[in-house]
Structure 1
Amino acid sequence: MRFKARLKRDWRFWQGLNRTLKRVKSIARDSGDLLCDDLQAAVDRWRNERALTFEGRTLTYGEMDAMANRYAHWAKGLGLRRGQTVALFMPNRLEYFPVWYGLSKVGVVTALINNQLAGQPLAHCLNISGASHVVVDPETSPVFEQAKDGLERPMQQWVLGPAQGDQRDLVQALKSCSQLPPDRSVREDMTASDTALLIYTSGTTGLPKAARITHMRAQLYMRGFAGATGATAKDRIYVALPLYHATGGLCALGAALLNGGSVVLRRKFSATHFWKDIVAEGCTMFVYIGELCRYLINHEPDEDETRHKIRLAFGNGLRPDVWPKLKQRFRIPDILEFYGSTEGNVSLFNFDGKEGAIGRVPKWMRGKVNIRLVQYDVETESVIRGTDGLCIECGPGQVGQCVGKIAGDARTEFTGYLDRAASEKKIIQNVLARGDAWFATGDLMKMDAEGYFYFVDRIGDTFRWKGENVSTGEVAERLSAFQGIEEANVYGVEVEGADGRAGMAALVMDGAFDAKAFGDHVAQELPPYAQPLFVRLLPRMDTTGTFKLRKVDLVEEGYDPARIKGPLYFRDPKKGYIKLTKAVFDRLASGAVKV
């Protein structure tokens, strides 16, 4: 029986891999076929079929293309040349994808700016984009206005709505622009190695960095998921993730639009409307980020949650404890978990649906992929090298950093960030052979004997305490099993006189916090070194636009009751979790309490 189950998994893995490789094998950096050519071919084939639906309005492929063409001619009219950049600062809306699709037709780069940003972070992203024009809508225009003082150069603001002052009315400007495709000669001599988009890292630990997305890399995203998901022209994919991020804006759109399917786009995710929308629109797939799924299973039951036609959910970051609940409660036949980073050259797919795994590389595939795990010291934050000066590969079950070998083909090239220095910091030399170069993902993983990869934590999130490595992700997963915890964010904080960093957990509770019961749960679920020394209760958790938990501010605030509003607890060696008052804090600071 076990042999048959394994054979079935292997067959599903091979089917998924084969579908994906068929779609990406022809991608080449020196090819003259650009991303916009892929999309144009889809338009020509399915011109009269529905492509995008948003808030009751639907565009066919032909209408979507006509809208994109207007943006292309608008850019030409401004005198924008190939390689120049336009910043796109809007929430999800019907025009979002046609804007950058149209600009790509004339070789103009689009910087996809996180519409959750404001102030200095927003000005920073606009500055490093190098754009002289920015496209906004009535929602983001006031935010841009407030950030203008931080801009290093003048930036013309184009509003999809009423314009004021020195703003320009983009709706009016587009009326005089042709709906016909621009002449292909305008991008003559361009290749797939030219830049198509700038996509920014989420900035969970600092200011965002701009990753350079070439046409080739965007093709890998879109064609890859067109194959991996097995989508067809009959599929409707529900997208509630932001389009400024690769998962929603490239992976999901590629799965639908390169197969003749359609996208049902929502302005932002809502657990309340999620299943109602999916049932009403007849969606067959949805794309997720792990936290989105956790919000769904924590939401009260909905009569539509099992009346849907969903056959596949695909995305990344799905926690092992959430996976079975999501699949069973909502009756989702298949889940396709994947791993990848915006700027990196490492991709993994879990084609056969093994719960908890982010992907698989069987032994017979090792020589054909660029992915390896190497031993890593979390205390010194550096790879571990042997006597020969090379890195040491991890064995089954051993945690290490995931790295991807850099080569010249489409799937292994590392295009990096706009900031060359930041790109160079992500490259490790002399990993498995003298003179080689590998992309450092910054992620700790482990692999089992069958080749399944499991995500452990981000480097920097894993810390050392009592001589042991503590994974914030694993601790948060165990804490979340405690009754009443809606969200758990775990991080390390420095304690006066102690080596390493002590664990601290920020919790959002549904109801009262029972310190005694929580202490019992922690003692039962976690080894002593992994048990949080401090606990902080929050009314809500700050997240990025892609639902990643922010830690930088929490780490900075630490456990000082003078800086923190709200309940704060300390795990006393004898009494368990007690209120962390100023008196307790002073005793900790003086070393009177041993931790």
Structure 2
Amino acid sequence: MKLTTKDMTSSVRRLMSTAQNGLEVIRFGGLTHDVESSPYEVVERRRMYRLRHYFPDEPAPADGTPRPVALLVPPLMVNADIWDVNAEHGAVGILHRGGVDCWVVDFGSPATEEGGWQRDLADHVLAVDSAIDAVGAATGAGVHLMGYSQGGMFAYQSAAYRFGKGVASIVTFGSPVDIVAGLPFGLPYGLVSDVADFLADHVLPRLPITDAMVRLGFQLLDPVKTAKSRIDFLRQLHDREALLPKERQRRFLNSDGWVGYAGPAAADLLKQFVVHNRLMLGGFVIRGQPISLAELRCPILAFIGEVDDIGQPAAVRGIVRAAPNAEVYEASLVAGHFGLVAGSNASNVTWPLVREWIDWRERGGPLPEQIVPMTEHVPTPGPRSAATRVVHTVGALAEAGAGFGKSFESLANSTVRGSVELVGEAARALPRLTRLGMIQPNTRISLGRLIAEQARRAPLRECFLFDDRVHTNAAVDARIDNVVRGLISVGIRPAARVAVVMETRPSALATVAALSRIGAVAVLLAPGSELDRAIERTGAHIVVTDPENLRQCVATGLQVLVLGGGSTRTLDIPTGEGVVDLERIDPAQVRLPAWYRPDPGLARELAFVLVTGTGERLETKYITNHRWALSAFGTATSADLGRGDTVYCLAPLHHSSGLLVSLGGAIAGGSRIALAHSLDPERFAAEVHRYGVTVVTYTWTMLRDILDARVFPAGHAHPIRLFIGSGMPAGLWRRTTEQFEPARVLEFYASIEGDVVLANVTGAKVGCKGRPMPGTAKVELVAYDPIAERIRTDESGFARRCADNEVGLLLGKAADGVDISSGGLRGVFTAGDSWMPTENLFRRDSDGDYWLVDRTDTVIDTVRGPVFTQPIVDTLNDITAVDLEVAYGLPIGAHELAVAAVSVRDGFRLEAKDVTEAVRAIEPDQRPDVVYVVDDIARSATYRPSTRAVQALGGPRPGPHTWCYDRTSETYEVMTEAHASALLEP
């Protein structure tokens, strides 16, 4: 082909233009252009930020109508000029022409700001909080708070921190909330979490992330696109007019737009929002205050990039669950992360939509069609996410079509993710089980010791939350040491038994841990209980209490130590002889004696004494350090507790569930502990979100009050994954899992004596107590005569093991060195073996799971043989109309009638046919003779329905709400006077 003179001239000109423009790029970093920034002035300068006001000289509207106000927040790694990259076609320019008054937060660069490399996440959230106040004061209007990427996360957090005050709406662009749902390339969360945890702890606090590192990191996220943009630029280098309109944006992306990232802020981001996902779950911490996005009640608009690999759609849509009290909308664009806020797509779609959104909120204009209410699950329209892009490419190259790609993606997302998370669970469980297996009678192990270990390992990690304040491991450990000095100054020594009568509060936890650190024994008593009898039974000689229970404790006549409420509060009873205010003792002035060694407790030594029941049923539980550790590590393992969990301690510390399960499990699992004041459904609902509660502990019917209050209606978003405790009736169990779906129940059983601990880990069998936890005592079920109260033996004289579904006495193998002289058994199955009997009867099903059927002392002795109360209670509780129930034996001559009393839920009606239908699940001989309705069933301090209170009301009486069982028709009928005479008289 022959070149003409014209072609040659054109080529030379193109070559000359390319060379000239290239030289300009080399010398000046880019092409000189006439595109100017929008005018602004800095109206406020603070240590953390500068507040820009764009178009400050713009006159007010002629009609006097105030302009709506927008406050725009950039992400940390991007210059605040992101809002004005395209000047006339950028965010502030378009919004300004739409009548919006624009303000921008400029964090500056940590490389140039004083103390910039030490900034943490809270600094930036509080900066936005301050900027909202400043803009509100200057304009007198509520602000439309807007944030791009992490700037949107700051917008959510700041608005929640101030409970929405002064915020008219929130608009975010590619801002992830549920980090777990949108990890790049479908990476397994367990793997990412572990890496992020390591970086946050050991790398980022020591390594500032410079602007060059930030720029390189973003370019590596999509190297193909980066290379393509540079090739396109070189190809068009000859055409200056074509390049100039995009030159400012190109230079912004290539160099000018990136700023460094302070290490502490990056560490906070990874810790709170990647490792623990607390933006989604709640409970992220700003200067010691727990915050939840559930506090948001203003309207929210989230822009979603369908091909955004950083703020992936699933992660962005997490806001609809994280903020259940807000109206949440979305606008979805076929755009990447940067394209949401800059470029032609943003100019033509994003910012006009934002302007219309503000018109809708401020002036009642129509809601744009592209803005729709957000739904959590939206199918992805084709291969657009990062993970599906990779799979789609692989499938195309293999010429195997979409089916191969889909299968490959499924393999990556399920097999890899599942296996890594399974390995993660095993990695958490193995050290706990190994440590349990290594505990010998002389091993030093105690509550105080574990808390000290946590403080040494991670001093700044959150330990517990109370009254909307967060306390770190180091602060808790220091408080315990101070209480130790106070206790030692008044004569507390190792092995001393000290009664603790306190409400659930930080001081109670500190007291129990301080006694453990000294090596003393904490006798935990419920406030308002029979203190005199309990103290006499337990041998305590001194009482530690809080101001609320001071008078009751003084009445015991023992020396009383008062702790809690701070040194400035006043006491009802003045200090003096018999009353010592520990808050007024200066720990620095206490000289520790030579005998003091912190945390001396050995596994075999007594650590706690619990008192349960009342009157003649008053019982004491003696818990060694080993027994406590067994429950603590067993709970942490069974519930898979980790540092991302927050355990809400509904059960009081003086109950075994509070001490062994809540406190013990959380400490052993490294989880945060949230202490509840009391059982208050409204407070529970608020704190579950604010603290980011993932695990709730209970005892008996405690959750009934929360369910009845309906503070969490079915389908309402919540962060709870698990309820753990003991004694929950079957019907209440079902109601709990239905109302709090997908959370499940983990029911425990622990014997009063010995090391028997059962756990229903899967929760699949409602009402079942499960199987022995790893590391706990070996159990056996032996045949037992509950009327004669003796173990049944075989021809050899050894105890006979029960067959499947046969009711028997549960035994636990006694550990070596345990003294069995107080109730233990020897020679049960072989000569010389030793076992500790429990106080309970069980049956074991064919799967090996154990079901509680009764206590040995509450079996009903009827004329047809023993009747067990627990199956009756569980069956009746499963009736929708039944609220609470008890079953007991009513003496009639030489035997007893099996009687059950029930109360009915408000708004429901219970009829005889309901009872008839329900008890078909029980063998005929085990069905109650009489079922009757009472107005109410009182509960104990641990929320256990009180049989004694029901009996005190008198037995069943003839009437329409008392039904007796007809064994001929196998139905329940209204009890008449004739029935009563036949049944209730000897």
Measured against the shorter chain, the TM-score band is 0.7 to 0.9
Give the secondary-structure state (helix, strand or coil) at the position aligned to 2:438: coil
Give the distance between the partners of 2:468 and 2:641, measured in 1 at CA.
Answer: 23
1:503 and 2:899 are equivalent in the alignment: yes
Q: Which amino acid aligns with 2:939?
A: T
1:158 and 2:562 are equivalent in the alignment: yes
- Is contact 2:932–2:963 with CA below 8 Å preserved after alignment? no
Counterpart selection for 2:796 from 382, 385, 388: 388
TM-score (norm. length: structure 1): 0.82
Counterpart selection for 1:370 from 778, 781, 798: 778
> How far 1:65 moved relative to its partner?
1.2
Give the secondary-structure state (helix, strand or coil) at the position aligned to 1:53: strand
> How far 1:489 moved relative to its partner?
1.1
> How far 1:199 moved relative to its partner?
1.8
Higher relative contact order (CA closer than 8 Å, sequence separation 6+): 1
Counterpart selection for 1:571 from 953, 964, 968: 964
Give the secondary-structure state (helix, strand or coil) at the position aligned to 1:257: helix
> Structure 1's 71 and 436: CA in aligned 2 closer, same or farther, altered over 3 A?
same
Q: Which amino acid aligns with 1:474?
A: P
Q: Which has the larger radius of gyration?
A: 2
Matches for 1:396-545 after TM superposition, within 5 Å? 396-408=804-816, 413=818, 424=822, 426-496=823-893, 499-511=895-907, 516-518=912-914, 520-521=916-917, 526=922, 528-545=924-941
- Is contact 2:479–2:510 with CA below 8 Å preserved after alignment? yes
> Structure 1's 220 and 482: CA in aligned 2 closer, same or farther, altered over 3 A?
closer
Q: Deviations over 1:293-344 (max 9, x none)?
A: 4444444362587311223332223444444443343123444332213433
Q: Which amino acid aligns with 1:507?
A: S
- Is contact 1:23–1:224 with CA below 8 Å preserved after alignment? no
> How far 1:25 moved relative to its partner?
1.7
- Is contact 1:73–1:182 with CA below 8 Å preserved after alignment? no
Counterpart for residue 402 of structure 2: none
- Is contact 1:105–1:182 with CA below 8 Å preserved after alignment? no
Give the distance between the partners of 2:474 and 2:600, measured in 1 at CA.
Answer: 27
> Structure 1's 458 and 296: CA in aligned 2 closer, same or farther, altered over 3 A?
farther
Counterpart for residue 661 of structure 2: 251
Give the distance between the partners of 2:922 and 2:844, measured in 1 at CA.
Answer: 22
> Structure 1's 361 and 219: CA in aligned 2 closer, same or farther, altered over 3 A?
closer
Give the secondary-structure state (helix, strand or coil) at the position aligned to 1:96: helix
> How far 1:110 moved relative to its partner?
1.5
Moved more, 163-172 or 257-266: 163-172
- Is contact 1:515–1:578 with CA below 8 Å preserved after alignment? no
Counterpart for residue 93 of structure 1: 505
Counterpart for residue 216 of structure 1: 626
> Structure 1's 447 and 507: CA in aligned 2 closer, same or farther, altered over 3 A?
same
Matches for 1:6-85 after TM superposition, within 5 Å? 15=426, 18=430, 20-85=432-497
Q: Deviations over 1:92-148 (max 9, x none)?
A: 01111111111222222211111241xxx2211122333332122232223334x53
- Is contact 2:785–2:792 with CA below 8 Å preserved after alignment? yes
Q: Deviations over 1:402-446 (max 9, x none)?
A: 10121317xxx478xxxxxxx72x423332123333211121112
Counterpart for residue 420 of structure 1: none
Counterpart for residue 133 of structure 1: 542
Give the distance between the partners of 2:760 and 2:429, measured in 1 at CA.
Answer: 10
> How far 1:584 moved relative to its partner?
7.4
Q: Deviations over 1:506-550 (max 9, x none)?
A: 434435765544564467555554443344433332223222222
Query: Where does structure 2 lack aligned partners over 5 or more consecutive residues?
Result: 1-418
Q: Deviations over 1:348-372 (max 9, x none)?
A: 233344323322369xx99x95200
- Is contact 1:482–1:521 with CA below 8 Å preserved after alignment? no
Matches for 1:165-176 after TM superposition, within 5 Å? 165=574, 166=577, 168-176=579-587
- Is contact 1:383–1:391 with CA below 8 Å preserved after alignment? yes
Give the distance between the partners of 2:857 and 2:757, measured in 1 at CA.
Answer: 21
Q: Which amino acid aligns with 1:155?
A: Q
Give the secondary-structure state (helix, strand or coil) at the position aligned to 1:105: helix
1:550 and 2:943 are equivalent in the alignment: no
- Is contact 2:777–2:814 with CA below 8 Å preserved after alignment? no
Counterpart selection for 2:719 from 286, 290, 309: 309
Counterpart for residue 53 of structure 2: none
> Structure 1's 590 and 351: CA in aligned 2 closer, same or farther, altered over 3 A?
closer
Counterpart selection for 1:276 from 668, 686, 699: 686
1:348 and 2:749 are equivalent in the alignment: no
- Is contact 2:886–2:901 with CA below 8 Å preserved after alignment? yes
> How far 1:43 moved relative to its partner?
1.1
Give the secondary-structure state (helix, strand or coil) at the position aligned to 1:199: strand
- Is contact 2:729–2:877 with CA below 8 Å preserved after alignment? no
> Structure 1's 179 and 47: CA in aligned 2 closer, same or farther, altered over 3 A?
farther
> Structure 1's 547 and 246: CA in aligned 2 closer, same or farther, altered over 3 A?
same
> Structure 1's 143 and 570: CA in aligned 2 closer, same or farther, altered over 3 A?
farther
Give the secondary-structure state (helix, strand or coil) at the position aligned to 1:546: coil
Give the distance between the partners of 1:572 and 1:64, measured in 2 at CA.
Answer: 58
> Structure 1's 369 and 251: CA in aligned 2 closer, same or farther, altered over 3 A?
closer
Counterpart for residue 314 of structure 2: none
Pairs aligned (count): 553
- Is contact 2:881–2:910 with CA below 8 Å preserved after alignment? no
Give the secondary-structure state (helix, strand or coil) at the position aligned to 1:490: strand
Give the distance between the partners of 2:429 and 2:662, measured in 1 at CA.
Answer: 18
> Structure 1's 528 and 534: CA in aligned 2 closer, same or farther, altered over 3 A?
same
Give the distance between the partners of 1:482 and 1:320, measured in 2 at CA.
Answer: 10
Give the secondary-structure state (helix, strand or coil) at the position aligned to 1:140: helix
Q: Which amino acid aligns with 1:274?
A: F
> How far 1:179 moved relative to its partner?
10
Moved more, 460-469 or 103-112: 460-469
> Structure 1's 545 and 181: CA in aligned 2 closer, same or farther, altered over 3 A?
farther
Give the distance between the partners of 2:561 and 2:600, measured in 1 at CA.
Answer: 31
Give the secondary-structure state (helix, strand or coil) at the position aligned to 1:70: helix
Give the secondary-structure state (helix, strand or coil) at the position aligned to 2:608: strand
- Is contact 2:714–2:738 with CA below 8 Å preserved after alignment? no
- Is contact 2:504–2:678 with CA below 8 Å preserved after alignment? yes
> Structure 1's 106 and 114: CA in aligned 2 closer, same or farther, altered over 3 A?
same
Q: Deviations over 1:126-179 (max 9, x none)?
A: 22333332122232223334x53xx6xx43353545332456352543344579
Query: Where does structure 1 lack aligned partners over 5 or more consecutive residues?
Result: 1-7, 416-422
- Percent of aligned pairs sharing the same letter: 22
- Is contact 2:755–2:777 with CA below 8 Å preserved after alignment? no
Give the distance between the partners of 1:249 and 1:495, measured in 2 at CA.
Answer: 41
Q: Deviations over 1:56-90 (max 9, x none)?
A: 23321111111111111112111222111221101
> How far 1:48 moved relative to its partner?
1.4
1:124 and 2:521 are equivalent in the alignment: no
Moved more, 461-470 or 52-61: 461-470
> Structure 1's 470 and 207: CA in aligned 2 closer, same or farther, altered over 3 A?
closer
Give the distance between the partners of 2:647 and 2:561, measured in 1 at CA.
Answer: 32
